[in-house]
Amino acid sequence: MQIYRRLSMIKAISFDLDDTLYNNRPVMLAIEKKMECYFVEKFAILLPKLLSEPKLVFNRRFWAPYRQQAIKAHQDISHDVVRLRFETYRLGLLAHNLSFDEATKEAQAGLDYFIHLRSDFTVPKASHELLASLSKVFPLVAISNGNVDTKALGLHHYFQHIYHAGFQTSEGNNESEYLLKQKPAADMFTLVCEQLAIPAEQLLHVGDCGVADIHGALNAGCQTAWLPQYGVGKKLRQIPHIELAQVSDLSQLLP
């Protein structure tokens, strides 16, 4: 553990998920290949003529125009990766002459398959052991811009709250929709502190991205632990409180 700023009192710890508690890059690379195959099979049934086009691959490049179309048409949808993916698939299918009902149905089926794949891997034992130990001392929460299913990963029970960026439905008789913006926006950090009833400076946020996690948490008034172990997060804009070589270094915070 490298210390850059003196840590003050910590009343709770928040964790980013992807590339913090596990290496997400190989998971996503494998998923991309599986999704390409999935849509080849789908289009072979739904739009066989499309497959006659040379070198057509249903990868990010294929879906990119429809993703941009969705972002242009729907304000703030980029903060909700689940809704954005669904709308990207739906617009792409509509553009290739599927009916509205067919495109909606197949977009949902593609999204469901993606979400299944998204959480179909094993979290390292070291992360489980750390969370189990820390949860006995600190309230833990998860703050993610992504859509991984913590229940499927066996992580859910360690956290008092789990926040995913995107559109949320308020509870109560008058249900309404509100938006939690992605980090580095302060939305999720602020909500964590409100629900745990602690000042922001007593929350330690742990994450891999120098912008979303460290810059975002510092701007929200929190303490920060940077974990660049997997080498995928963006570079630092601000100096964190501590740097971790591996997530298990946090065990040094235990009494």
- Distance in angstroms (rounded) separating the CA atoms of residues 64 and 136: 44
* 16 phi and psi angles, rounded to 5 deg: -70, 160
Say whether 112 is catalytic: no
Rounded distance between C-alpha atoms, residue 57 and residue 44, angstroms: 13
Strands (E), the chain: 2-3, 12-15, 140-144, 161-164, 166-169, 177-180, 203-207, 223-226, 242-243
Q: Which of 16, 18, 187, 213 is catalytic?
A: 16
Quickly tell me which residue has 């700023």 as its tokens: 5
Cβ atoms of residues 201 and 8 within 8 Å = yes
Using CA of residue 171, residue 203, residue 2, residue 154, what is the dihedral sign? negative
Beta strands in 37-181 (DSSP E): 140-144, 161-164, 166-169, 177-180
Instruction: Please report, in angstroms and rounded to a whole number, the separation of the first and last CA atoms in the chain.
Output: 16
Q: Which residues are catalytic?
A: 16
